[in-house]
Amino acid sequence: MICAGNWKMFKGPQETRSYFEEFLGLISPEQSSNFVFFVPAINLLVAKEFLSTGKVKIGWGAQNCYFTSEGAFTGENSPQVLAQVGATHCLVGHSERRQIFGETDSWCAQKVAVIQEAGMIPVLCLGETAQERERHQTESVIVRQLKQGLAEVKDKNKHKPLWIAYEPVWAIGTGKVATPEQAGEAHSILRHTLEDLWGKNRASEIPLLYGGSVKPENSRSLALQKNVDGFLVGGASLQPQTFCQIYENALS
Ligand code: PGA
């Protein structure tokens, strides 16, 4: 059961230090490989100091990157540089990036491809808005986002690690979690779409995370859904105890 924390624009280096000091006391080395942290870029080297020690195997990475290795792109982070410093994962197409910063499916596709090329694991985020759900467009929206988001994956990279995070926009940061049935239904659509694209075996290797108001109180019922392989957690990942509790409860 994967538990990925998306800190968004919260915490500075000092708070990151205190967080990981506490967090590492809460989990065993065996459990560590189930966790990944997407910290603000300014904290990535602090994350590395705590998480890439050899004693634990915790993933960490950025919440976004650009799709070329260098250039005149003020404010962006290079995927190659992220990989050079040791980042293992990178988020792509989080709904806040899509909605606030205007990221398109075609940008996401390029980012997925360069993150793989750089040797990291892309976590492609997708999900429908409330309005799209009301209009019964959930399936068409998430299938489009998935297919277009994977459109630039090169044949030689089709077997490289890749994760998908289904995050209904109406459930992010709202306290309105998808019901286990809604999450299960969306995940099964995504799994079938991956099977159509790349075959059953390959599709079964790709972890499908659920995100949107995941908390210790709902992680168990969501985790019971067949195609839910883990979580992408925003607000509830900001406290080490709460984040660990989500993981513990999911397994209980
Ligand atoms: P939330 O955010 O858990 O605070 O709803 C999830 C996310 O944005 O990844």
| For the CA of 172, the nearest atom of ligand 1 | 5
pLDDT band at 171; cut points 50, 70, 90: very high
How many whole angstroms from 96 Cα to the centroid of ligand 1?
10
Write out pLDDT tens, residues 195-205: 999 999 999 99
- Give the span between the Cα atoms of 51 and 28, in whole angstroms: 13
Which of 9, 91, 172 has most ligand 1 atoms within 8 Å of its beta carbon, as the pocket-test mutant? Answer: 172
Residue 57 pLDDT: 86
pTM for this predicted structure: 0.97
How many whole angstroms from 176 Cα to the centroid of ligand 1?
11
Report CA torsion sign: 5, 113, 97, 65.
positive
Radius of gyration of the chain (CA): 17
Average of per-residue pLDDT across 105-120: 97
- The share of the chain scoring above pLDDT 90, in percent, equals 94
How many whole angstroms from 137 Cα to the centroid of ligand 1?
22
- Per DSSP, the residues of 92-130 read E--HHHHHHS---HHHHHHHHHHHHHTT-EEEEEE---H
Question: Is the beta carbon of 207 within 6 A of some atom in ligand 1?
Answer: no
Catalytic residues: 94, 167
